[in-house]
A = this chain, B = another copy of it.
């Protein structure tokens, strides 16, 4: 057997909340004005109460509402596939599995939370959402979800990705969403950046500021975030929960669980149910793979920082390069974020998750190997996980170790073919951040509270 598919009757009925199993509690978000923990009421202007309750919840299992399950059943459970041809190509004794989230209509893991967020906003009386998007995977997923729940949507898309990936824009429009490049003239935060840097490539930090301001000044509108927050990672745990069920079909359990990380939702989705096992004594490794060019865990600081550039969000304890940091325009736009989910950062600090930061060219080389053996073309973000999985399989070959490797295939690369074109034309390069750029960004946050 090389592929486990499950019927909709085997969909997980609950999300897994790792807060219930943490050996040390997560540090709370702080009000930047008072330096005190922030309460749900302070966020109620832009988030619906059910999501704020999930954000703070300590319940281990949170039931997935029927209307959300009903939408999940359009493509979930997603397949768990053994990469037999890749194993043979590498000549490794390791078994390599990938959980294929590219099977969703928008082509990535993002609708797992987009659908839930649209649903909770809808039942809370909200008719319109505002959001940011990097590579466009999140924006298109939320456009998909909003079209199913008859909601309006405005997407602020990081300008460099808006230009690199025109067809994700088209996708958002086909599902009925409105989309503008960020920084945009539509918000105070966007106008401020445009005045200082008219040719700014944009960043997730800037786009978040714009979407938050949009939501804050309209009663009918809430803000929706595609990663970073606890409730977002919670919704993504369907991925790992399904994988656990599917590995039983194979009579195996993973020794290594790998996911790419930008804000942390994809990695959290596949890894958190396994980190639970690790907390309870199971020997396994969870590897979070970030880009060399935006290395928030491996080269950032664990510190309180703003989630956005314009300092509109609460302070969060996380690995950060500093909220003023604008990452270089690498093709894995979904990983271009200055910070890291507080939950993932916390797990790194507890030595439950290990970070890696491979170079862009190594990731594309791994992606092409994968495409030519397994047939599936990874998004540039996913390519980071592919690179790490291949590296682990090669280690297993050197060590003669028959480990089972699982990686999260977060999305397909059909909208990223221009990146592959650039790679084949040898127009892509690696990019290591200079020390002084990191030091400058750090200056902006050193006066903020320490965790």
Q: Which residues of A contact B (CB under 8 A)?
A: 1-9, 73-74, 81, 85, 103, 105-107, 144, 147-148, 166-167, 170-171, 173-176, 368, 371-377, 414-415, 417-418, 420-421, 424
How many angstroms from the CA of A174 to the CA of B365 in the assembled complex?
Answer: 11
What number of copies of this chain does the assembly contain?
Answer: 2
Which of these, B5, B148, B174, contacts A420 with CB under 8 Å?
B174
Contact A74 B375 (CB under 8 A): yes
Which of these, B6, B148, B372, contacts A5 with CB under 8 Å?
B6
Name the CB-closest residue of B to A144. B375
Which of these, B170, B173, B376, contacts A418 with CB under 8 Å?
B170
How many angstroms from the CA of A107 to the CA of B375 in the assembled complex?
Answer: 11
How many angstroms from the CA of A144 to the CA of B373 in the assembled complex?
Answer: 9
How many angstroms from the CA of A420 to the CA of B148 in the assembled complex?
Answer: 19
- In whole Å, how far is A48's beta carbon from the nearest beta carbon of chain B? 22
Contact A424 B173 (CB under 8 A): yes
How many angstroms from the CA of A371 to the CA of B375 in the assembled complex?
Answer: 26
Q: Which 7 A-B pairs have the closest CB atoms?
A: A170-B417, A105-B375, A167-B417, A414-B414, A5-B5, A147-B372, A105-B376
- A9: B residues at CB distance < 8 A: 1
Given contacts A1-B9, A148-B373, A171-B414, 9 further A-B contacts (CB under 8 A): A2-B73, A3-B7, A5-B7, A85-B148, A147-B373, A167-B167, A170-B420, A174-B377, A174-B424
- In whole Å, how far is A27's beta carbon from the nearest beta carbon of chain B? 38
Contact B167 A414 (CB under 8 A): yes
- A105: B residues at CB distance < 8 A: 374-377
How many angstroms from the CA of A106 to the CA of B173 in the assembled complex?
Answer: 24
How many angstroms from the CA of A310 to the CA of B376 in the assembled complex?
Answer: 36
Which of these, B1, B4, B174, B375, contacts A368 with CB under 8 Å?
B174
How many angstroms from the CA of A174 to the CA of B421 in the assembled complex?
Answer: 8
- In whole Å, how far is A202's beta carbon from the nearest beta carbon of chain B? 21
Contact A3 B74 (CB under 8 A): yes
How many angstroms from the CA of A373 to the CA of B4 in the assembled complex?
Answer: 28
Which of these, B2, B74, B171, contacts A377 with CB under 8 Å?
B171
Name the CB-closest residue of B to A176. B372
Contact B174 A417 (CB under 8 A): yes
Name the CB-closest residue of B to A146. B372
